[in-house]
Amino acid sequence: MRIGFPPLAAGLAVLVGLVAFDLRADVAPGATRDDVIKALGRPVGESRLGPREVLNYPHGQTVILENGRVVRVQTPRPAAGSAAVGPAPAPVSPWRTDFAAATAEAQRRGVRLLALFPGPEEAPAARRFLAEVAPDPEFAAVFGPDFVFVRLDHAVRPPQPAAWQERNDRLRDACGVVGYPAVALLSERGERLASVDFGAVPETESLQARVIASLREMRGKLALNAAAPAVPPAADPGKTSPLHLDRLTPFALKVGLRSAQDLIEIALVAGLLGAGLMVWLLWRTRAPAPVRLQNHASRIAQASSGLPTVFEVMAWDREQLCFGAMVLGESEGYEVELAKGDPDKDVLFSRPGDVRPGVVVCCAPARTGKVTAKSVRSLVGTVAAEQAQAGWFIAPAGFSEDARDFAARNHLLLFDAAGLVTRMRDLPPIMLPKLRTNKPW
């Protein structure tokens, strides 16, 4: 049988293509990272731990590098006697985005939730976390058995449904997240247990190692707390359980009459209390008005919990708000400085040894009303002028919708009264005495 030239040429072309693909997929130890990218293209997943880097490619091929050089190439082998199969499926991300489905899975498995707040995707810290930590198989292997992973983005492209975005914002505020990226440990019902942010990890330090160490520490503390369950109070024999009457009996009639008598007694007591309240109000209007102005330290000393309430924060002036911000900054390892005489900045946070401030803080007391986008834009300009990394705006009265939208696009953290009190609950006990002194500077 004679083979014409066209079929022969086609066969040679297919053979050459197969050989070229085999050479392209062959990466020998000692090759550089650029050689790997040139031969295999961009990986579908990357992870880094110290000098070691792992590049994951489709079909299960993995390239391991140390100090920028290939040390091992792992290619899965087909099982003996198995038929040819199609391409391996792409790796499934362990991060869920549906919070309701994540809580349902956590309750089904009896584990907690590990919630990731990456922040704006264009921020360098968010890109670093999503590239080095979130897709890493070692991170999933360490915490996957004990947690259900859920990712709560603040802004993504394409945009999430409005209901999901509002839910993520509420969870961010409830978890006390003030810096991105942040990870919070939640109960199986979505209640906050602990949280930590990783926005200030330097480039010279392994972000993956810092995240794993911090989360292991938090997981250990939660395990210790769970090891000592609270003892339920003993039942009071003097208190009887409520009666469920399913039919009318003479005994039921007696119980009904006793309940009516109790209601009459409660009504009499309530009437006496109301009359006493009216008398006190009349007396108060005749008596000289007491001095209401108290300093921050006296209110803190009178509070049973050692922390201010939301209503007290609403009454703070600018100086007291600056004081609260400075205590928060010191608790997070910053050196704090009061910026006097500048309406666009009140407090500066900086790391030891840094020339430029890391955070610029602006405070607005509640009597000035809700903060608008104009004031937030001024803070953005001040952050840029100071060459700072972030900005905080503390306004107990809250912020307008356009101000919140503008702050979200420019990496600013906003604190209303409830958010500031929530953040202060995380202050270590050693900081509470300093909080009562009202003299951080």
pLDDT classification of 394: cutoffs 50, 70, 90: very high
Is residue 16 predicted with pLDDT exceeding 50?
no
Question: Does residue 54 sit in the same domain as residue 109?
Answer: no
By the 10 Å C-beta count (0-12 exposed, 13-18 middle, 19+ buried), 140 is classed as: middle
Domain boundary among 74, 90, 125: 74
DSSP designation for 178: -
- Who wins on pLDDT, 336 or 49? 336
Question: Does residue 63 sit in the same domain as residue 124?
Answer: no
Closest alpha carbon to 197 in 333, 102, 306, 361: 333
pLDDT classification of 48: cutoffs 50, 70, 90: confident
Question: Does residue 208 sit in the same domain as residue 131?
Answer: yes
pLDDT, mean of residues 229-248: 47
State residue 158's pLDDT score.
52
Provide φ and ψ at 429, rounded to 5°: -55, -30
Question: Does residue 33 sit in the same domain as residue 126?
Answer: no
Task: Starting at the earlier edge strand, list the strands of the sheet with 347-350.
Answer: 335-338, 347-350, 359-363, 390-394, 412-415
Please state, as a whole number, how many other Cβ atoms lie within 10 Å of the Cβ of residue 407.
Answer: 21
Domain count, the chain: 3
The mean-pLDDT minimum among 153-162, 349-358, 404-413 falls in 153-162
From residue 280, alpha-carbon distances to 273, 277, 283, 284 in Å are 11, 5, 5, 6
DSSP designation for 134: T
| Residue at 231 is within a domain | no
State residue 403's pLDDT score.
92
| Residue at 66 is within a domain | yes
CATH number at residue 130: 3.40.30.10
Question: Does residue 105 sit in the same domain as residue 62?
Answer: no
From residue 102, alpha-carbon distances to 95, 111, 151, 175, 394 in Å are 9, 11, 10, 16, 32
* Rounded Cα distance, 197 and 118, in Å: 10
Model confidence pLDDT, tens digit, residues 254-288: 445 455 667 788 888 888 898 888 888 877 665 44
| Residue at 269 is within a domain | no
Query: Do the Cβ atoms of 147 and 190 come closer than 8 Å?
Result: no
Question: Does residue 108 sit in the same domain as residue 207?
Answer: yes
Question: Does residue 337 sit in the same domain as residue 427?
Answer: yes
**Entry field: residues in the chain:** 441
Query: Do the Cβ atoms of 326 and 440 come closer than 8 Å?
Result: yes
Question: Does residue 43 sit in the same domain as residue 106?
Answer: no
Model confidence pLDDT, tens digit, residues 162-172: 777 788 888 88
pLDDT classification of 141: cutoffs 50, 70, 90: confident
Is residue 364 predicted with pLDDT exceeding 90?
yes
| Residue at 136 is within a domain | yes
| Residue at 321 is within a domain | yes
Question: Does residue 47 sit in the same domain as residue 103?
Answer: no
pLDDT classification of 152: cutoffs 50, 70, 90: confident
CATH number at residue 48: 3.30.1450
| Residue at 411 is within a domain | yes
Is residue 17 predicted with pLDDT exceeding 50?
no
State residue 350's pLDDT score.
92
pLDDT classification of 431: cutoffs 50, 70, 90: confident
pTM: 0.35
State residue 160's pLDDT score.
66
pLDDT, mean of residues 88-93: 54
Is residue 359 predicted with pLDDT exceeding 90?
yes
- Who wins on pLDDT, 214 or 220? 214
The mean-pLDDT minimum among 16-20, 231-235, 327-331 falls in 16-20
Question: Does residue 135 sit in the same domain as residue 28?
Answer: no
Question: Does residue 182 sit in the same domain as residue 110?
Answer: yes
Print the domain residue range for 404. 297-437
| Residue at 94 is within a domain | no
Mean of the per-residue pLDDT values of the chain: 76
| Residue at 258 is within a domain | no
pLDDT classification of 14: cutoffs 50, 70, 90: very low
CATH number at residue 388: 3.40.1350.10
Catalogue the E-assigned strands of 364-417: 390-394, 412-415
Is residue 101 predicted with pLDDT exceeding 80?
yes
Question: Does residue 343 sit in the same domain as residue 406?
Answer: yes
Domain boundary among 223, 251, 277: 223
pLDDT, mean of residues 60-80: 75
State residue 221's pLDDT score.
78
Model confidence pLDDT, tens digit, residues 294-315: 444 444 444 545 678 888 889 8
State residue 276's pLDDT score.
87
Domain boundary among 192, 223, 254: 223
